[in-house]
Structure 1
Amino acid sequence: MSKKAVIIGSGIAGISASIRLAVKGYEVEVFEANPFPGGKLSEIEIKGYRFDAGPSLFTLPEQVEELFLLAGKNPKEFFEYIKLPVACNYFWEDGTRINAFAEVDKFADEVERKLGEPGSHISESLRQSAFIYEHLAPLFMHRSLHQIQTWTNPDALKSYLKMGKLGIFSTMNEANEKLFDNPKLVQLFNRYATYNGSNPYETPATLNIIPHLEFNIGAYFPKKGMHAITQSLFQLSKDLGVTYHFDQKVEEVLVENKKAIGIKVRNEHIHADLVINNMDMVNAYKSILRKQKQPKLLLNQPKSSSALIFYWGIKRKFPELDLHNIFFSDNYLEEFDHIFKKGSIYHDPTVYINITSVYKPDDAPADCMNWFTMINVPNNQGQDWDKLIAEAKKNIIHKLNRILKTDVEPLIEVEEILDPRKIEIKTSSAQGALYGNSSNNKFAAFLRHANYSSSIKNLYFCGGSVHPGGGIPLCLLSAKIMSKMIEE
């Protein structure tokens, strides 16, 4: 008789966990409070425009492919993607524009030609990024930091000898200022702190691992959009026999004698051999685990930044814009001070625009574009968001008008807004933080919840609020680490 596992939440990590457990022979049921799977990795459709609602960058596609291979299927038959020739387009107020080409030599030439920065500095930066990845990825991304064998394996022993070169003792900004002469290039590489909701002036330089993923390995785009990751894995899990229960909010994790025995949903007790929580860790302890011992140190950690997103249907094409576009603030330090210290939005925010219709034309009507227009903002601490949103929209439009030499507002045909309040409600993310606890100190990696409960047997955790962190690849890896624990 097969063992039964229940999974709370159908974010990308929850779906991944369901696949891995089903392959191992478990009977798997997933309970989701929303009427759809995917969590943040969902989509929005408005009057002929389609938007990927959440994560917009796709790296390490092999983490998705591996799940199909585990199920004995050819990934290419179910999920297709392309490698991007340009990782991102960058714009500044003074008219400077940089195309971050995927080919490192081409990117280096672009930087040297437009910024006067020696192209060798790009090569050296990406060499250092690869070095950090080589020594830290096996330790931090593919293993639990909460098991002794992680710290005694050969990969760990090799990394101990390189600690001084891994960026642990300096901030991202300090490291980038040593690498680059031009402040614009420092700013460009500081931006990678935002990939996990952190502050480049506080987060350790170990996060300079991220450019390696984007340039040395590559950035990609699923041919059917980012939501295709959710759709393809959701279908795979169902093909493996996983059962989903939507619009069913879990009320409690049932625990007897310090052992998880199931969940309570709609006053019904559903028993299971394993309980896997894919819900935000903080809100899980406040709600479904409220009767259990609380990990106060972890719960009280500062949270990551959030986002304010305007989904705009634009009735015009802009040939200078690509899939990923960044319009930088002229004062990056002040912008991050507002986000993390003042709990507000700077009047000159850095604006990110993701336009999937560049590669998937049917995401917008003919001669139109779907602009996923986002700025980094503080998490929800009770601010007057209606006032902040109105001011931010005005400032974003004025900024884009100046840089693109246009008038954006009359071009906005449809609009939907996602702010930290809605993110918290929609995805149960504590304070609307996108990545759980922030990474603004050198010990941040150790201040994430483990992929298992140390006090409740048979209770496991996966998703962006626990180890190894937020973002699609790390969420998928959290499910992988967790499933290995169950197997062991």
Structure 2
Amino acid sequence: MSPSQPSPEGRAFKAHSLDSKSKVSPSGGDLEGAVAIIIGAGIAGIASAIRLAVKGYEVQVFEANSYPGGKLSEINQQGYRFDAGPSLFTMPQYVDELFDLAGRNPRSEFNYQKLDAICNYFYPDGTVFTAYADEDKLADSIAQSTNTTKASVKHYFANSARIYHITDHVFLQRSLHRLKTYLRWDTVRSILRLSQIDAFRSMHQANQSFFADKRIVQYADRYATYNGSNPYQAPATLNVIPHLEQHFGAYFPDDGMYSITTSLVKLAESLGVKFNYNYPVEEIVLDKLKAKGIKLKDKFVEADIVISNMDVWFTYHKLLKQHPELYPKRILQQERSSSALIFYWGVKKQFEQLGLHNIFFSADYEAEFGAIWKQQTMSADPTVYLNISSKLKPGDAPAGCENWFVMINVPANTGQDWDTLIAAAKKSILAGLSRKLGVCIEQLIETEAILDPRSIESKTSSYQGSLYGTSSNGQLAAFLRHANRSSKIKNLYFCGGSVHPGGGIPLSLLSAKIVSEWVQ
């Protein structure tokens, strides 16, 4: 298993010894503008690099891996290509915006198609329905397959839209940690409507009030997994998530999810950003509570600002380990989001009943989340997400075959016996899919790769392998995420899924936007 390698261009950088007082330009000459260093080439780090380059900064990105993208990477194995991480693409306007800022036509560099059918849902009792992008078609699909009225579906999505309109410009688009955010009239209006964001009951409780059919409650509860949370604990404010998918749509990049990374890296490089791969940062160097640059082994690279795209827990415990007095201890002790176990299977068959996105629900959703969050283990009957990019990008698999990305939600790594758990999960998943699809899946697998919480942590510096930083299982979770700027260290900023506003591609891109607006 090996992620795609970028070209070696941009790997060279200028550095000097720790005792040098000269400042080095990323271009190798005399410094003409302010220098920004970004730690980590995850999607938020790349977006931050683009935004700062457009503002006139000379930008260098230092990445420990030999490839960019962080979780948004790919695997090539025996003729199969897999998008290794995020597989659902929503809010593409945030990617387009980066090209627009640089004065480029997004469609000349990056293209995607809107999905008519977003996801197929399969239930243990044999119920099947398709979630369509068109709300009327979706309501019809649900009403025809379950004991649910179209009116209740419409009411549910109207509630989701209301929460979005109250929270978007305050909680997502701006920093919660700046006074100027609260001096805006639209913020005041949103604050006056906070009672309408449904923060005082759980998602599950809210969804039970919208739907009488337990199958559709389960469908609505699933959206908590979009940010690694538990619908039986997370506030119903998270019912904003369906609006992001249903109203704005779900998409598929023409060249696969990893093309989001490659196209943005190409854009950044065209703006003069230098990517340095295979360069793990050892320390953020401070001078009297001011970030002055980074240390690479015995070398020092000076900068005017430093932006960490590394998980905030590792940023402090690895890069600022010399300064434990500066740790935001309460934030770093918060409950982590869930993680994932992913099997990448090359399958020697095509299945007409499957689409790009497919969900096979467990029989007992509450027990499944109880296993993850209370017992810190895997459910014996997990819900299975199956993504097949070769449905829309046939070259991702050999002729007559499919590339299966098979994922279940699991707890963050706290020392579980993962080898035993993975073996049991594989057996359970294969048995369930074989029974539901009417064929022995194991006999069709000709290649396999596995990603689990341990490898997620080691490959992406995500503490405990959590996918979204901290969980959103509390009423005040949105207010407790780490800010995008340090309150104690001048010129130190943070972006990515472990800080405000949250995890996933859209929110990670918004974290880069917030950082760029904070940086002068």
TM-score normalised to the size of structure 2?
0.93
Describe the superposition over 1:265-292 as per-residue Cα deviations: whole angstroms up to 9, x where unpaired: 0210110001000000001111001122
Displacement after TM superposition at 1:401 (Å):
1.3
Match of 1:297 in 2: 330
Match of 1:9 in 2: 40
Q: Give the alignment partner of residue 419 of structure 1, picking from 452, 477, 481.
A: 452
Matched, 1:39 2:95: no
Answer whether contact 1:29 1:243 (CA < 8 A) is retained.
Answer: yes
Match of 1:101 in 2: 132
CA distance in 1, matches of 2:77, 2:204: 40
Give the aligned residue type for 1:87: I
Displacement after TM superposition at 1:426 (Å):
0.3
Displacement after TM superposition at 1:151 (Å):
2.2
Matched, 1:468 2:501: yes
Displacement after TM superposition at 1:116 (Å):
2.3
Match of 2:99 in 1: 68
Match of 1:322 in 2: 355
Q: Give the alignment partner of residue 360 of structure 1, picking from 393, 406, 419.
A: 393
Identity of aligned residues (%): 56
Secondary structure at 1:342's aligned position in 2? Answer: coil
CA distance in 2, matches of 1:320, 1:459: 50
Q: How does 1:155-174 map to 2 (within 5 A)?
A: 155-174=186-205
CA distance in 2, matches of 1:484, 1:206: 26
Match of 2:157 in 1: 126
Q: Give the alignment partner of residue 89 of structure 1, picking from 120, 127, 133.
A: 120
Give the aligned residue type for 1:475: S
Instruction: Return 284-293 or 63-72, whichever deviates more.
Output: 284-293
Answer whether contact 1:93 1:402 (CA < 8 A) is retained.
Answer: no
Displacement after TM superposition at 1:194 (Å):
0.2
Answer whether contact 1:130 1:212 (CA < 8 A) is retained.
Answer: yes
CA distance in 2, matches of 1:152, 1:342: 44
Q: How does 1:224-235 map to 2 (within 5 A)?
A: 224-235=255-266
Match of 1:176 in 2: 207
CA distance in 2, matches of 1:200, 1:401: 28
CA distance in 1, matches of 2:43, 2:144: 41
Match of 2:8 in 1: none
Secondary structure at 1:465's aligned position in 2? Answer: coil
Give the aligned residue type for 2:250: A
Q: Give the alignment partner of residue 450 of structure 1, picking from 483, 501, 507.
A: 483
CA distance in 2, matches of 1:108, 1:132: 20
Match of 2:284 in 1: 253
Describe the superposition over 1:282-317 as per-residue Cα deviations: whole angstroms up to 9, x where unpaired: 011110011221110001001000000000001000
Match of 1:150 in 2: 181
Match of 2:23 in 1: none
Match of 1:332 in 2: 365
Describe the superposition over 1:378-415 as per-residue Cα deviations: whole angstroms up to 9, x where unpaired: 00010000000000000001111121122100011100
Displacement after TM superposition at 1:160 (Å):
2.1
Answer whether contact 1:204 1:440 (CA < 8 A) is retained.
Answer: yes
Match of 2:221 in 1: 190
Displacement after TM superposition at 1:154 (Å):
1.4
Match of 2:250 in 1: 219
CA distance in 1, matches of 2:44, 2:142: 37
Give the aligned residue type for 2:420: K
CA distance in 1, matches of 2:67, 2:227: 25
Match of 2:233 in 1: 202
Give the aligned residue type for 1:60: M
TM-score normalised to the size of structure 1?
0.99
Match of 2:439 in 1: 406
Secondary structure at 1:6's aligned position in 2? Answer: strand
CA distance in 2, matches of 1:215, 1:439: 21
CA distance in 1, matches of 2:192, 2:59: 43
Give the aligned residue type for 1:391: A
Answer whether contact 1:248 1:266 (CA < 8 A) is retained.
Answer: no
Describe the superposition over 1:57-76 as per-residue Cα deviations: whole angstroms up to 9, x where unpaired: 11110100000011110000
RMSD: 0.7
Secondary structure at 2:319's aligned position in 1? Answer: coil
Secondary structure at 1:309's aligned position in 2? Answer: strand
CA distance in 2, matches of 1:462, 1:309: 25
Answer whether contact 1:7 1:277 (CA < 8 A) is retained.
Answer: yes
CA distance in 2, matches of 1:360, 1:48: 13
Give the aligned residue type for 1:70: L
Secondary structure at 1:396's aligned position in 2? Answer: helix
Secondary structure at 2:472's aligned position in 1? Answer: coil
Secondary structure at 2:291's aligned position in 1? Answer: strand
Matched, 1:392 2:425: yes
